[in-house]
Amino acid sequence: MVRGPSPLEDLVTMIFDNFYAGKRVLVTGHTGFKGGWLSLWLWHLGAQVHGVGLKAPTEPSLHEIISPEVFATETECDLRDVDALQTAIGRNRPDIIFHLAAQALVRRSYREPLETFDINARGTAHLLEAVRRLECPTTVLVVTTDKCYENRGWDYGYRETDPLGGHDVYSMSKAAAELVTHSWRESFFRPNPKLGQVASARAGNVIGGGDYAEDRLVPDAVRALLSRQPISVRNPSAIRPWQHVLDCLSGYLLLGARLAQAGKDSPLAGAFNFGPGFQCRQSVQAVVQEILRHWPGQWNHAATADAPHEAALLNLAIDKAAAQLQWSPTWGFPQAIGKTALWYHQRHVVGNPAMRDYSLRQITDFVNDARSQAAAWAGDTP
């Protein structure tokens, strides 16, 4: 079902030059947190959204809120099965693919290193290979992470040209996914006129309503608050580039739209960082304290001697996205935390029965704020 905009939605569908209206868009990992928000936004933009991935990884989930209307089709498919992936892509023949399916948890990568590598690195190769075999002229955007860089503890942000690496298996697998993306693009996609463009996107520590994963700060904090327990914090002094999910998704959507309209030699066919502003580079302790401003409770320091390695400092430079896409983040640190805390409070404390509509209102608020800041992708202020 392709959704047409109502007058209330004209404000949102005009963004990204109305590129996504009527487009067939395939989202891998659509049952996850970021994939769910991306799918909802695409549907709101008038796209026909096709989801490919496994069942929702958590219960509750964002997927259960949005699935009744957002997806034209949903295909359960494991990235490690290249033939099934090729069949799913061939059936839908998308105009653009957003590849978000992944094993996304650092701690799980210590328990399941081979599975993490297979899903993140080989799974990305399978996706690109499936598109290549089909000679499908689709644009592909592969989403990885800021942790793909070799972390040297620098105060300044990592640039797209800095070395890739990874202390833990998760980070290594994402660095490998970036190398896979580069190799398939240069070997197969760029020289073949029948194939589309390929790029990759790297974001920071993404937060927002609807994330229920294990061993992540915000979901763990919400679970503690709901059970009236102190929030356990393993590494309060660690500094991360926190950003709301809608901020990085605005970058993905902008890059996808521009890339799909670019020529084969476009510099947009490469890697891009979509990180937050400098003020969002905050400690874990600052995040918890900001959450508690909106949702009263307590926290305690719960570090353990045998905890897996965690980088103390990690920042992204976003100069390339600013220069080539005129992209910049919209929500600052207090807004990102506040919108996130309010989403969970609405669902689990207020018991709002219309959380899909509440989520759409957050998207509209975000677009309005981007317009007020004259963001190039958001169009003119009405």
What percent helix, strand, coil does the chain show, rounded to 5? 45, 15, 35
- For residue 232, being part of any structural domain is answered with yes
Are 275 and 203 in contact by the 8 Å Cβ rule? The answer is yes
- For residue 300, being part of any structural domain is answered with yes
pLDDT band at 68 (very low <50, low <70, confident <90, very high): confident
More confident of the two residues 20 and 379: 20
Domain range for 355 is 204-244+276-305+331-374
Check whether 306 has a pLDDT greater than 80: no
Counting the structural domains of the chain, the total is 1
Contacting residues for 215 by C-beta, under 8 A, at least 6 apart: 105, 106, 107, 108
**Quick one: which of 213, 202, 246, 204 has its CA closest to 62?**
213
- For residue 347, being part of any structural domain is answered with yes
- For residue 337, being part of any structural domain is answered with yes
Over residues 186-207, the mean pLDDT reads 96
Check whether 338 has a pLDDT greater than 90: yes
In the predicted model, what is the mean pLDDT of the chain? 92
- For residue 27, being part of any structural domain is answered with no
- What is the model's pLDDT at position 305? 57
Check whether 304 has a pLDDT greater than 70: no
CATH number at residue 298: 3.90.25.10
Check whether 313 has a pLDDT greater than 90: no
- For residue 314, being part of any structural domain is answered with no
- For residue 157, being part of any structural domain is answered with no
Check whether 199 has a pLDDT greater than 80: yes
Are 310 and 238 in contact by the 8 Å Cβ rule? The answer is yes
Over residues 227-241, the mean pLDDT reads 90
- For residue 173, being part of any structural domain is answered with no
pLDDT band at 312 (very low <50, low <70, confident <90, very high): low
How many CB atoms are located within 10 Å of the residue 176 CB? 21
- What is the model's pLDDT at position 344? 98
- What is the model's pLDDT at position 3? 47
- What is the model's pLDDT at position 120? 95
Surface-to-core class of residue 306, CB atoms within 10 Å of its CB (0-12 exposed, 13-18 middle, 19+ buried): exposed
